[in-house]
Structure 1
């Protein structure tokens, strides 16, 4: 069971509009979370690792199905498509549809890296009524493209008679990846620690993405989709640190944590309320300071994305070799 402190932190996150998502490293940890009833009772969704057997994915989906059925954009299980297909739209779409058909659960989210091919496939899947976890969103420009793909896909789903409230979307920003790349560049530049801006690169990006989504939700397109039952895309922060539980708090967001990271976050003390809304100017200043210190954030984001995709592809190759 989780500690009393961890349970209290979960309650605070949920009260602030932050959905706690379970992030685990392997299928054994996922099975343990199902046995301990952490899914549903504590965590409201799950990000499962590559290579998780389909039966384990189904068990996780079944554990979270009551939350999904109750509505509110909860109860999803995110499962990755083969990252080796990330730049081949046709193969990626076929793989995503096959994965969705294999799991056979309404609350499964197909996880796609947001390459150009991934964004095109996202639109097709949403038009089919299949939920998507849009991963590796590391810039405002990429997030804007993803939100455009979301609108196009949901408009097509509406025209096809799909029940929009069942088509859920998470837009995931791996704040930890950007932090690591920015920190490495700062170290190479020799910038003094006192010159660092208040907050990290990842946290500043989160605040800018939150602002971007809020601006898009004020548009005419969203009013049409909402009137037909669509839920807004949820921003999901991944790969962060325990400190991010307090630093990335905003309505209709999600934070992916392992049980161990959650316990560490709980020991840091209570939340300080919303830390994203209205913080975009401070975030922009943080980006300006980082650029002044020699950190090219566009380049850092591109490098972080490329390295993560290569890591995912290599890991998939290794698992495929072992299983064969």
Structure 2
């Protein structure tokens, strides 16, 4: 894994992160892998920097496997290779081990938050995103292998993924739906999760399935700003630049809060369901530290603040936010009308956020498929695995 990330220090002054926590905002760490577990740095981030969740990523594992000489996966990789495990089986085993370790580390946070935080998100094979039955089989296998209450299995926001969300919520398996790039799709994910909880309730089972959704508002804003042109474009376009992320967050949060005020949710709540958080990605590639943009993360940490929300940031972006961010208090509640005005202004300029979000969903899914292929190649290229293939 990149030495640059290992050199990112835990912020010495946690006042910004404390103030976010007081506003009901969590900070999750993106792109976590085995090195941060082995060297204790993740434990330090959780203890000293108010990190309350982590997202494990295929790209982080790939970077570590491609390091020359010793790496954090070497011993387990050698044992699996000697058993002649396939590359796919090796990746599953490495991922489950990391997830168990991280879940145990975050367990005290999960317990203190009464199951509302302290989550660990583990990836599935993105190549299965349009195959609902196979995805569900993989989800069940990973949930069984990890066997921790604070695990969330990452599910793609495809049509097949929505069916998986329903099934997982009904079976009490936590899911992390990511990435999302439109409020329309977020509404469908929210509805799918509730449908699954209702199935559990009707069947007399415990209503406990968690469904957390991540909106990559930064990627949408970046795409919109590219379409608006440069700073010398018309004054109307210039006035819209840098406003999309906050507008999307406000619309999504309004949808989320109105849902929690509905009779449907009250029935689920009385059956034991717990409200889930909205996660905002803090950079265009929240799980990839090499393409992270700390300035973008700082601005969004300042601008997007509301109860039961989470910012997903790389270690570098967390450190920058802790040093420079000045959160402005709740910026989402009651702000949907202004956000709809921004969306309408973009539509008048020919930018349809729903269509753009769907395009970004497909683009990001293709990238995750490539990430998985690169991870499998990295496993195959490891000398101890080549010896037994």
**What is the TM-score normalised by the length of structure 2?**
0.77
Q: Does residue 1:295 correspond to 2:351, yes or no?
A: yes
My pick for the range that moved more, 189-198 or 257-266, is: 189-198
- Cα distance, 1:190 vs structure 2: 7.3
- Cα distance, 1:137 vs structure 2: 2.2
The equivalent of 1:28 in structure 2 is 35
Q: Does residue 1:123 correspond to 2:166, yes or no?
A: yes
* d(CA) in 1 for partners of 2:158, 2:27: 26
Secondary structure of the corresponding residue to residue 135 of structure 1: strand
- Cα distance, 1:295 vs structure 2: 2.2
Q: Does residue 1:315 correspond to 2:357, yes or no?
A: no
- For the Cα contact (< 8 Å) 2:171–2:209, is it kept in 1? no
Show CA shifts across 1:98-121 (max 9, x none).
111122212110111111000100
Report the structure number with the largest CA radius of gyration: 2
* d(CA) in 1 for partners of 2:337, 2:198: 32
* d(CA) in 2 for partners of 1:242, 1:90: 40
Q: CA RMSD in A?
A: 2.2
The equivalent of 1:273 in structure 2 is 329
The equivalent of 2:202 in structure 1 is 159
Q: Does residue 1:55 correspond to 2:97, yes or no?
A: yes
Match of 1:39 among 46, 51, 55: 46
CA distance 1:308–1:35, change in 2 (3 Å):
closer
What aligned pairs does 1:171-210 form with structure 2 within 5 A after superposition?
Answer: 171-187=213-229, 191-192=233-234, 195-197=238-240, 199-210=242-253
- For the Cα contact (< 8 Å) 2:27–2:53, is it kept in 1? yes
CA distance 1:188–1:119, change in 2 (3 Å):
farther
* d(CA) in 2 for partners of 1:30, 1:187: 43
- Cα distance, 1:176 vs structure 2: 1.9
Gaps of 5+ in 2: 1-8, 62-93, 284-296, 381-389
Match of 2:269 among 200, 203, 226: 226
Show CA shifts across 1:27-81 (max 9, x none).
4345556554323552111111126532222111001111222315011101111
* d(CA) in 2 for partners of 1:189, 1:302: 26
Secondary structure of the corresponding residue to residue 284 of structure 1: helix
Show CA shifts across 1:244-288 (max 9, x none).
111110111111112211121133343110011111111111112
CA distance 1:31–1:43, change in 2 (3 Å):
farther
Number of aligned residue pairs: 322
- Cα distance, 1:320 vs structure 2: 1.2
Secondary structure of the corresponding residue to residue 78 of structure 1: strand
- For the Cα contact (< 8 Å) 2:165–2:211, is it kept in 1? no
**What is the TM-score normalised by the length of structure 1?**
0.92
The equivalent of 1:111 in structure 2 is 154
* d(CA) in 2 for partners of 1:193, 1:97: 52
- For the Cα contact (< 8 Å) 1:34–1:60, is it kept in 2? no
Match of 2:135 among 92, 98, 103: 92
The equivalent of 1:211 in structure 2 is 254
Gaps of 5+ in 1: none
What aligned pairs does 1:256-267 form with structure 2 within 5 A after superposition?
Answer: 256-267=312-323
The equivalent of 2:85 in structure 1 is none
